Amino acid sequence: MGYLGIAGVGIGSGLFHATLKNYTQWCDDLSMLVATATVIHRVFTFDKSLTYTVVHGAILIACFTAFSTWHCIKDELIMHSVIFGIMIAVVGLKTRSIINARVTDPAVRKDVRLLTAWGGLIFVTGFAIWNVDNAMCSQLTAIKRTIGMPWSFVIELHGWWHIFTGMGAYIFIALVEYLTSEEAGQPLGTRFAWPVGSIIAGRGSETKENGNESLEHVNGSGNSIENLKHTNGNTNGVVDGNGKSTGGVKKNR
């Protein structure tokens, strides 16, 4: 559902930017809340009963419908931004608690926490850029016209908002899918698309090196045991003067 939600954001955003109509902006705004609501529903119901899952979903739908109706009638943006920020914070806090409960391996937990931190940082950066763009749209437009192309794109904050939040949203949706599945607690490996591989590449190499060192240590211990057995065998295999094995250690008298 999370991936369908983020696909819906792409469709709604595409409609708005292609038409610049008021009603298509509602598609853009509300699709963000729908996508986040699907993630909230997942993190709070993945380990619950079917009845709880259905009731929780019904409550989310009712709350979302009420807010969406009010949002469209009043044509406001402030409460939309506030609600969206609160929903993201709820997802972040719940994700952290799931990590503590379901990821027990210290190395894997370190990777997951690193990924969570980067995902949160990327998303919050995009969210901040979006709010700056909303508050200073006129001033930024004047600056862009003064600079001209091609460098004016650098302060095209609305574009950066889409890039940053798209990356952050993917990281969290993929992370929630991992944490709420049977694969939770297993090494992350290459199960995620970019930019996750770049974020945990160094940690993955470090974990692999530690694993190789441990394996070499085990092999070394095994060789020592084999050498010990070989020595004991030679000691126990003492031969007497008649060419027969005594089966024990020959003592000096």
In the chain, the percentage of residues whose pLDDT exceeds 90 is: 35
* CA distances from residue 11 to 14, 40, 72, 212, 243 in whole angstroms, order as listed: 5, 21, 19, 47, 91
Residue 128 has phi, psi (to 5 degrees) of -65, -45
Mean pLDDT for 160-166 is 89
Enumerate the β-bridge partners of residue 245: 239
What angle is formed at CA 102 by the lines to CA 95 and CA 41, rounded to 5 degrees?
A: 40
Find tokens 């694969």 and name the residue. Answer: 183
Q: Is the dihedral of CA 84, 85, 90, 96 positive or negative?
A: positive
Q: Is the dihedral of CA 245, 246, 249, 253 positive or negative?
A: negative
pTM comes to 0.71
Q: Is 80 annotated as a binding residue?
A: no
* CA distances from residue 120 to 5, 107, 207, 213, 250 in whole angstroms, order as listed: 18, 20, 23, 33, 73
Enumerate the β-bridge partners of residue 239: 245
Tens of pLDDT, residues 95-134: 999 999 999 999 999 989 999 999 989 988 998 998 899 8
Given a cut of 60, whether residue 251 has pLDDT beyond it is: no
Tokens of 232: 């004991």
Please give the pLDDT value at position 252. 43
User: Which has the higher per-residue pLDDT, 70 or 20?
Assistant: 70
Please give the pLDDT value at position 121. 93
Q: Is 17 annotated as a binding residue?
A: yes
Tens of pLDDT, residues 135-156: 888 898 899 999 888 888 888 8
User: Which has the higher per-residue pLDDT, 247 or 3?
Assistant: 3
Please give the pLDDT value at position 201. 66
Tens of pLDDT, residues 166-209: 898 889 888 999 999 998 999 887 777 787 777 876 554 444 44
Mean pLDDT for 245-253 is 43
Tens of pLDDT, residues 27-83: 888 898 999 999 999 999 999 999 999 999 999 999 999 999 998 888 887 898 899
Given a cut of 60, whether residue 250 has pLDDT beyond it is: no
CB-based burial label for 8 (10 Å; 0-12, 13-18, 19+): middle
Please give the pLDDT value at position 216. 44
Please give the pLDDT value at position 165. 87
